[in-house]
């Protein structure tokens, strides 16, 4: 039974992939720029220059990416890469670490692996650019754009038309709350209190983003952290496909995102925030065995440098111990852009947000 279901999901995955190849039509972008914030699900090389940090700047990462190794934590495109293509961007959004002055007006990727909503999150993995610093970096970029365009009114109107994507919070669990030997949070807060405290801080940070001119903002809910190969190896699943207790933990955060979106949209004039139900969209992928495609080294769940990954990468949900494969990212991106089910996005999907 299980293997039949697995086969069906594989067939659906392949169908989704083939559809995607013919789906992308590159033209003029639907919005003038696209700014990205977050953690390793979004990072495209910002951590490469750090000595000790969570990094993916070595093979077999990037094995299916046009430019090879870049620092992306997957075999090919990330979810934000694919959303960028669906929005009509010809080039990938450059990482903050290397972006040029000519490139900044199309958008910048500020994301950094290990970063969280809370400042201390990810300290155990080393250097990272925390969300507060990502916002400071964005402030500097907005000033540079303003200097280039040399017309304040024009710049304000310009950056209000852009799309801002934020995917952060997983590390506040994986590299904070779930590490009681390194962080005190699980002694201080119940799971419910912790979710509430995170959301409160997130709300302030998103208000800062709004004050820097953002109006069209995509908030990704947290993924099923209990279904990652690393979590399954660490905690066991009691015969279930995933570690239910971990998925229930992040659900407390995810369930607060829709009310947060409502609050921000009601409280901030002209704001159009929207929520993407990452866990909901990823649910069918749990029917695929939760096995990493690459060989994993240690509890960090990253690929062993220069190891050979699995061959049929289109049929794998996870690339390493924590990060989805490109084939999963294609499904996530497509359903974020064009919702398949009403529960995929709230109040609307990204294609709708782009047209506002």
Ligand X SMILES: *[C@@H]1O[C@H](CO)[C@@H](O)[C@H](O)[C@H]1NC(C)=O
Is the CB of 197 or the CB of 304 nearer to ligand X?
197
- Quote the least distance from Cβ 157 to ligand X, whole Å: 6
**Residues 92-131: x/- map of binding to ligand X (CB under 6 A)?**
---------------------------x----------x-
For the segment 131-170, give every residue that binds ligand X (CB under 6 A). Answer: 132-133, 151, 153-154, 157
Of the candidates 170, 171, 323, 325, the residue annotated as catalytic is 323
Of the candidates 320, 325, 327, 349, the residue annotated as catalytic is 320
- Quote the least distance from Cβ 66 to ligand X, whole Å: 32
- Is 320 among the catalytic positions? yes
CB 44 within 8 A of CB 71: yes
Could you give the CA distance from residue 113 to residue 323 in angstroms, rounded to a whole number? 11
Q: Which tokens is 254 given?
A: 């995810």
Is the CB of 67 or the CB of 153 nearer to ligand X?
153
Strand ranges, E, within 48-93: none
| Residues in CB range of 102: below 8 A, 6 or more apart | none
**Residues 14-33: x/- map of binding to ligand X (CB under 6 A)?**
--------------------
Query: Which DSSP state fits 318?
Result: B
Name 133's bridge partners: none
DSSP string for 82-135: HHHHHTT-SSPPPBGGG--TTTGGG--B---TT--SSTTTTGGG-B---HHHHH
Could you give the CA distance from residue 32 to residue 42 in angstroms, rounded to a whole number? 20
Does residue 336 bind ligand X (CB under 6 A)? no
Of the candidates 40, 170, 325, 336, the residue annotated as catalytic is 40
Does residue 270 bind ligand X (CB under 6 A)? yes
For the segment 241-260, give every residue that binds ligand X (CB under 6 A). Answer: 254-255, 258
Could you give the CA distance from residue 305 to residue 295 in angstroms, rounded to a whole number? 9
| Interacting residue ranges for ligand X, rule: CB under 6 A | 119, 130, 132-133, 151, 153-154, 157, 254-255, 258, 269-272, 277, 279-280, 283, 341, 343, 347, 356
Residues assigned a catalytic role: 40, 320, 323
């Amino acid at each position: 039974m299980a293997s039949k279901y697995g086969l069906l999901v594989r067939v659906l995955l392949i169908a989704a992939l083939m559809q995607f190849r013919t789906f992308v039509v590159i033209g003029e972008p639907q919005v003038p720029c696209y700014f990205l914030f977050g953690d390793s699900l979004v990072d495209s090389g910002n951590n490469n220059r750090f000595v000790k940090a969570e990094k993916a700047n070595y093979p077999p990462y990037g094995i299916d990416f046009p430019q090879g190794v870049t620092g992306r934590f997957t075999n090919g495109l990330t979810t934000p890469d694919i959303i960028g293509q669906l929005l009509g961007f010809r080039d990938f959004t450059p990482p903050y670490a290397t972006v040029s002055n000519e490139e900044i007006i199309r958008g910048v990727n500020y994301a950094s692996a290990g970063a969280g909503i809370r400042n201390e999150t990810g300290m155990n993995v080393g250097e990272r650019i925390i969300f507060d610093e990502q916002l400071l970096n964005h402030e500097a970029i907005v000033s540079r754009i303003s200097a280039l365009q040399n017309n304040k009114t024009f710049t304000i109107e310009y950056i209000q038309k852009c799309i801002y994507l934020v995917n952060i919070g997983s590390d506040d669990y994986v590299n904070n709350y779930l590490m009681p030997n390194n962080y005190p949070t699980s002694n201080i807060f119940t799971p419910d209190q912790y979710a509430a405290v995170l959301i409160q801080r997130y709300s302030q940070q998103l208000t800062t983003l709004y004050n820097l001119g953002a109006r069209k903002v995509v908030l990704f809910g947290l993924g099923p952290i209990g279904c990652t190969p690393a979590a399954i190896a660490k905690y066991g699943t009691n015969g279930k496909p995933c570690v239910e207790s971990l998925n229930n933990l992040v659900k407390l955060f995810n369930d607060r995102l829709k009310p947060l979106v409502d609050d921000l949209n009601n409280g901030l004039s002209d704001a159009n925030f929207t929520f993407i139900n990452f866990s909901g969209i990823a649910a069918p992928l749990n029917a695929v065995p939760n096995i990493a495609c690459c060989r994993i080294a240690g509890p960090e769940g990253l690929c062993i440098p220069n190891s050979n990954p699995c061959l049929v990468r289109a049929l794998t949900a996870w690339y390493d111990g924590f990060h989805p494969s490109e084939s999963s990212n294609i499904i996530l991106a497509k359903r974020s852009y064009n919702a398949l089910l009403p529960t995929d996005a709230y109040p609307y999907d990204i294609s709708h947000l782009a047209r506002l």
